[in-house]
Amino acid sequence: MNILFIVPSYKPAYIYGGPIVSVARLAESLVQIGHSVTVYTTTANGKTELDMPLNEPVMMDGVQVRFFKRITKDHTHVSPSLWKETWSTVDRYDAVHIHSWWNFLIMGASLICTMKGVKPVLSPRGMLCEYIFNSKNQLKKKVLHNVIGRYLLSKTYLHVTSQVEWNDCMRLNNTWRGGLIYNIVDLPYLPEEKINGKDDGIFTISFLSRVDPKKGLDILLHALAKVDFNYRLRIAGSGEDAYVAYLKGIIRDNGMEDKVEWVGWKGSVEKFSFFAESDLFALTSHNENFAVVVIESLSVGTPVLVSEHVGLAKYVQEKGLGWVTGISDVEEVREKLRQAWLARDERRRIRTEAVEVIRQDFNESKLATDYADMYQNVNDIKVKR
């Protein structure tokens, strides 16, 4: 198949976090099993622009990437040149896959698909969850949704990466047709000696992500403030200065300075060693439609503790790969942390079994084939109509 991806940003704009990696891995994996993938994207890189050619495609790991200039430097990502190219070419592709929502670029591309009679697959990437819908600019979102968003969404085929995201989307439209396929995760597995971890007597907890209020790091800190066991929390990531200062205030006020270590951002290779050196990875987020870091941690055998709002919470629970907690009560989080600390044998079992479970469930070729089948299913639906 000849497949088109439309996405606001693409690698190397890693400032946008996990979705950049997962979209690129999907495109590359589809190429590896014999499909052709073209990406339409912008030069967005936060408040700056990527230095990429605008007049010719760039080949990245087998994927043809077309970068277009955006005329806004914010999350709207307005790009008339991308819209123009989409209008001219979108009906030439066998499948169109749109990623993200709540920005004018994507909503405009979705409108063009509708006008051209193209039914795209839409991956909201967590943008339609209740937390996002009712957070920043909620009035604007609700107006936009009622004026045109609801109509555009009805003309797409929904793709989600977790049951949590599916449930969120069904609250908006319970007749939406779609399917659930996990993200493809880049997993450069470590040698066995790395997977064995460490045992220095200190319960080491890791956090790796954007340091953002959505991630609930403040909840984790408050929960750890009064635990009755020795621990070390290692924080890998960066965020807005004001929020980082707020977190450091929590640490200072609770006398935790000697137990919390800020280790800076960990790159695509070194983060796996970071996970492997931990006894537990913790993510007490308010919302995550998937959370690639959970799979990355488990891929080296490190158990996880996640909030019930993390997309992979059900997977973790069903596979017996860690602990799931509510976050409305800090005491519950504290108790789950204590359970994880006490469960030495359970953590040893997870460290032994998790690697193979992840290798099977997140096999790259299998998942890429599932995506290709989904694209064909959308085409079959169009033919039947």
On whether the CB atoms of residues 177 and 158 are closer than 8 A, the answer is: yes
**Do 228 and 320 sit in the same domain of this protein?**
yes
Phi and psi of 194, rounded to 5°? -75, -40
pLDDT over threshold 50, residue 63: yes
pLDDT over threshold 80, residue 21: yes
**Do 49 and 33 sit in the same domain of this protein?**
yes
**Do 51 and 154 sit in the same domain of this protein?**
yes
On whether the CB atoms of residues 290 and 183 are closer than 8 A, the answer is: yes
Report if residue 186 sits inside a domain: no
- Residue 26's domain is classified under what CATH number? 3.40.50.2000
**Do 146 and 42 sit in the same domain of this protein?**
yes
The size of the chain, in residues, is 385
Report if residue 224 sits inside a domain: yes
The range of the structural domain enclosing residue 141 comes to 2-181+363-384
- Nearest-angstrom CA–CA distance, 217 and 192: 31
pTM above 0.75, yes or no: yes
Q: In the block, which residue shows the tokens 């205030």?
A: 249
**Do 206 and 306 sit in the same domain of this protein?**
yes
Domains in the chain, number: 2
Copy the structure tokens of residue 320. Answer: 């017996």
pLDDT over threshold 90, residue 43: yes
**Do 218 and 169 sit in the same domain of this protein?**
no
Copy the structure tokens of residue 152. Answer: 């555009």
pLDDT band at 198 (very low <50, low <70, confident <90, very high): low
Q: Residue 76 has what pLDDT?
A: 87
Pairing of β 48-49 and β 44-45 = antiparallel
pLDDT over threshold 80, residue 190: no
Report if residue 187 sits inside a domain: no
**Do 61 and 123 sit in the same domain of this protein?**
yes
Helices 217-224, 241-253: crossing angle, 10 deg rounding:
10
Q: Residue 189 has what pLDDT?
A: 62
pLDDT tens-place string over residues 92-136: 999 999 999 888 999 999 999 999 999 999 999 877 877 777 676
Q: Residue 385 has what pLDDT?
A: 46
DSSP letter assigned to residue 116: T
Q: In the block, which residue shows the tokens 């992500």?
A: 209
**Do 30 and 162 sit in the same domain of this protein?**
yes
**Do 249 and 377 sit in the same domain of this protein?**
no
**Do 40 and 136 sit in the same domain of this protein?**
yes
pLDDT tens-place string over residues 351-369: 999 999 999 999 999 999 9
Report if residue 71 sits inside a domain: yes
**Do 215 and 342 sit in the same domain of this protein?**
yes
Report if residue 31 sits inside a domain: yes
**Do 326 and 380 sit in the same domain of this protein?**
no
pLDDT over threshold 60, residue 311: yes
Mean pLDDT, all residues of the chain: 91
